Structure 1
Amino acid sequence: MANLFFWMSNNFFLPILPIYYHTLGMSDHQIGIAIGAFSIGSVLFRVFCGKLADRYGSKPILSVGIVVSTLAIVTYSYSTTIVSATLSRFLHGVGISVYSGASLTMATLMHDEQYMTEVVAIYTLFTMLGVGVAAGSANWLYQIGDFNLVVAAGAIATILSFILFPKNPVLKTKLVVEDSLSLLQVIRESGVYIPTLTLFAINMCFASMMTFWPLLLLSKGVSEIHPFYIAYAIAVVFSRIWVKQLCILLTPQRLAEYILLIFMSCMIITACFSNMWVLALNGIAIGAGYGLAFPALATIVGAHVQAANRATAFGFFTMAVDLGFAIGAIGMGIIADIWSYETIFYVAGLYTALYMVLYHFFFYKKLITQSDDNQ
């Protein structure tokens, strides 16, 4: 539940801040800088905070993340210039990075290793529920009150997450400080960098879909795009329920390859077709693929690193979410300016296909070999 409220607090602001900053008189360019500062703060501190969590434990680091996030949210009410808005967003990104790796690590260490996939699936399911509740209610709060009401809701949600997270967690997996490795040693493990690269490739596609799919449809005169979002929301929740069974049936390593195939296919189909059936089918496919991706790939990471290095590994792994989305949105935006929206999805499909070939013939074998060595 703590995870639900924390991510709810973060996502109250994503749909509202661009509107709020616009009412303050900021230009589109300034709004982009302020909003993007969040990702910069998040990326810069993820691995560093993961290393601190491995050294000092997840509980104090997680607590710091919640406190920093709460302070950042409170400063939104006073951030009326481009400089102050950018600093507030940067601070919020730092708080997110401090919290995310430590909380995921704590969740996995509180349960036996054989339940890691279920733990990650449930952890991320509550994340998605928090995102959904916030996205669905943020505009309503803004309309019935003002921006300060949204700030109050965000601050209350973070405080609730602080109250609800385990203060004295019972760890089923004990940390051995002597097992701690350097950052370079951790990220050089194939069980760490391969899932991270794979998650990056998936988030590149996800960013393209979420950012430019509505614009592509609008350019073709299709204004009713709600079937996509409804299908996506249903599929992403139900996929988290079935991820454990699929990992047992296929192995997480093989499931990752099928997820890449799903995203590649969706990119090509999106470039070629745009009707109501494609909207719904794309929503189901993207929701299922994205819902399965993080738990399956995080399971690979958790299984390939010792407990003493898990927060560092997860910190590096989760960077792929921010980088993939940011680079995907920015890079594909450049392609759209030069060519067309359809070209975005052809490029994303080709990129994913090339990575899938690399994964199939090289990365998959490395993952299986290391998995056998760890047994």
Structure 2
Amino acid sequence: MSMVFRLLSNQQFQVIAAVQLLNVFSTNLLSPVLPIYLKMQGMGESQIGLIMGIVSLGALIVRPWAGMSVDVRGSRIITLFGQVLTAGGLAVYLWAADFWQYLLIRFYQGIAMAFYGTGAISFASGVESSENTSAAIAYFSLCTMIGMGVATSIAPSIFTEYGLSSLIFLGLASVTAATGLMWLRGHEVPLNGDGQRVPYRDVLRTKEVLAPSICLFGSNFALGTAFTYVPLLALSLNITAYSVFFIAFSVAVVCARGVVHQINSRWDAERTALAATIINAISTMLLGIFPVTITSILSGALIGFGFGVIYPTLAAYVVDKVNAANKGAALSVIAAAGDVGYALGSSVLGIVAETMGFSTLFASTTVIILLSGYYFYKALWDLKDQGCNA
């Protein structure tokens, strides 16, 4: 408890926690309603999937640059740069009118997300000593989920009552407040490492980074699929209360982030991540087998808990395994894997939904999650064998 109290008393952690909550709130207000809004504009599932998924492609392209920029320039300035880009990406929604404009906006938002996300997680992981890094990432991630949970829970009601523009203005107000807080109260944190930076490709190829990255790929694939296609599935079945999925997700993910540090203190990161992977697979399997309101609630709760546990667990694992001089690059690798997973889950499976239906879509997602978990397990088993034979 003393370590947690010390963390929560750390002024720089307080700053990045509040900044993360506000920034994530602003960027997730459109997530649960944009697919519905685009469908109302006459777009098909494959077009909607491309629009929702391309945000991760934009992030993926600049992740290496963002990671190396953090290692060279520091996490504070990269975080601020990402926040300015985020505000611009929200503002231009007010003028979007067709498929190509929405596609370009979402791609740009991915670039903003890469710079902000890489800078923010690096900042959070450096505000405390190494023995308290896991707690810092866990509680930082809790703020992520509070922001996401509140945004995705209230957005459908605001959208129904006041329209998309009201969500855009609310998001702009939130990210502006976050930027001001980081500018006025945030101070650069040290790297806390004495090693030498190595090329980005060398960081990427290490199993200690690649294995958890593949595991997070599967988790984010499930999340991208669920966030994009659960509203469309509900629409096809004339289920109006699709927001219950997001509410259940929000409650579960906040609860998970609140206890993930305690879970990791009892279990090792490998077992925790594998358990979360299995929970995510069960979630998508339920959506494919029995898509009704009660199943949506249970599925939202399961994927919320699984996703809430897996990212801080894997991020803390990576920070523990790499030298701090390469921390930004390593965290950008794992984040890029998450970007790819979310992008493919959002976009590629739109064709599956149109041609074979939503049951096949969610069954395919379940298989991909389990395969990513198997790779993670196999890679870490090989690392342990190498350690024993050394």
TM-score (norm 1): 0.85
- Spell out, residue by residue over 1:146-196, the C-alpha distance to the aligned partner (whole angstroms, 9 max, x if none): 65544332222122111222432444x5354x6111001111121111111
1:278 and 1:98 map into 2 onto residues whose CA distance is 36
Structure 1 residue corresponding to 2:70, chosen from 24, 35, 53: 53
Residue 224 (structure 2) aligns with: 207
1:336 is the counterpart of 2:356 = no
Residue 174 (structure 1) aligns with: 192
Gapped runs of 5+ residues in structure 2?
A: 1-17
User: For residues 335 and 302 of structure 1, do their structure 2 counterparts lie closer, same or farther at Cα, with a shift above 3 Å needed?
Assistant: same
Structure 1 residue corresponding to 2:281, chosen from 264, 276, 295: 264
Structure 2 residue corresponding to 1:102, chosen from 115, 119, 135: 119
Q: How far is 1:50 from its partner?
A: 0.9
* Percentage of matched positions with identical amino acids: 26
Q: How far is 1:126 from its partner?
A: 1.2
One-letter amino acid of the structure 2 residue matched with residue 364 of structure 1:
L
User: For residues 137 and 221 of structure 1, do their structure 2 counterparts lie closer, same or farther at Cα, with a shift above 3 Å needed?
Assistant: closer
Q: Is the 8 A contact 1:117 1:243 kept in 2?
A: no
- Spell out, residue by residue over 1:224-270, the C-alpha distance to the aligned partner (whole angstroms, 9 max, x if none): 55554443222111111111121121101111111222233334444
- Spell out, residue by residue over 1:47-105, the C-alpha distance to the aligned partner (whole angstroms, 9 max, x if none): 21111110111111111111222223333334445555444333322111111001100
1:90 is the counterpart of 2:107 = yes
- Spell out, residue by residue over 1:328-355, the C-alpha distance to the aligned partner (whole angstroms, 9 max, x if none): 2333333333433222333333333344
2:297 and 2:37 map into 1 onto residues whose CA distance is 32
Secondary structure, in 3 states, of the residue corresponding to 2:30?
Answer: coil
User: For residues 366 and 115 of structure 1, do their structure 2 counterparts lie closer, same or farther at Cα, with a shift above 3 Å needed?
Assistant: farther
Residue 191 (structure 1) aligns with: 208
User: For residues 93 and 268 of structure 1, do their structure 2 counterparts lie closer, same or farther at Cα, with a shift above 3 Å needed?
Assistant: closer
1:151 is the counterpart of 2:168 = yes
1:136 and 1:352 map into 2 onto residues whose CA distance is 25
Residue 6 (structure 1) aligns with: 23
Q: Is the 8 A contact 1:39 1:93 kept in 2?
A: yes
Gapped runs of 5+ residues in structure 1?
A: none
1:365 is the counterpart of 2:378 = no
One-letter amino acid of the structure 2 residue matched with residue 167 of structure 1:
G
1:144 and 1:301 map into 2 onto residues whose CA distance is 43
Structure 2 residue corresponding to 1:321, chosen from 314, 338, 354: 338
- Between 334-343 and 254-263, the greater mean CA deviation after superposition: 334-343
Q: Is the 8 A contact 1:200 1:323 kept in 2?
A: yes
Q: Is the 8 A contact 1:12 1:134 kept in 2?
A: yes
Q: Is the 8 A contact 2:56 2:343 kept in 1?
A: yes
User: For residues 371 and 214 of structure 1, do their structure 2 counterparts lie closer, same or farther at Cα, with a shift above 3 Å needed?
Assistant: farther
Q: How far is 1:280 from its partner?
A: 3.9
2:180 and 2:229 map into 1 onto residues whose CA distance is 39
Q: Is the 8 A contact 2:153 2:247 kept in 1?
A: no
Q: How far is 1:12 from its partner?
A: 2.7
1:253 is the counterpart of 2:253 = no
Residue 143 (structure 2) aligns with: 126
Q: RMSD over aligned Cα, in angstroms?
A: 3.2
- Between 197-206 and 265-274, the greater mean CA deviation after superposition: 265-274
1:62 and 1:136 map into 2 onto residues whose CA distance is 26
1:77 is the counterpart of 2:59 = no
One-letter amino acid of the structure 1 residue matched with residue 277 of structure 2:
L
Q: How far is 1:367 from its partner?
A: 4.9
1:20 and 1:231 map into 2 onto residues whose CA distance is 22
One-letter amino acid of the structure 1 residue matched with residue 305 of structure 2:
A
User: For residues 357 and 71 of structure 1, do their structure 2 counterparts lie closer, same or farther at Cα, with a shift above 3 Å needed?
Assistant: closer
TM-score (norm 2): 0.82
One-letter amino acid of the structure 1 residue matched with residue 68 of structure 2:
K
One-letter amino acid of the structure 2 residue matched with residue 159 of structure 1:
T
1:27 and 1:347 map into 2 onto residues whose CA distance is 23
1:43 is the counterpart of 2:57 = no
Q: Is the 8 A contact 1:190 1:370 kept in 2?
A: no
Q: How far is 1:275 from its partner?
A: 5.3
Q: Is the 8 A contact 1:254 1:364 kept in 2?
A: no
Q: How far is 1:368 from its partner?
A: 4.5
1:229 and 1:219 map into 2 onto residues whose CA distance is 18
Q: How far is 1:38 from its partner?
A: 2.8
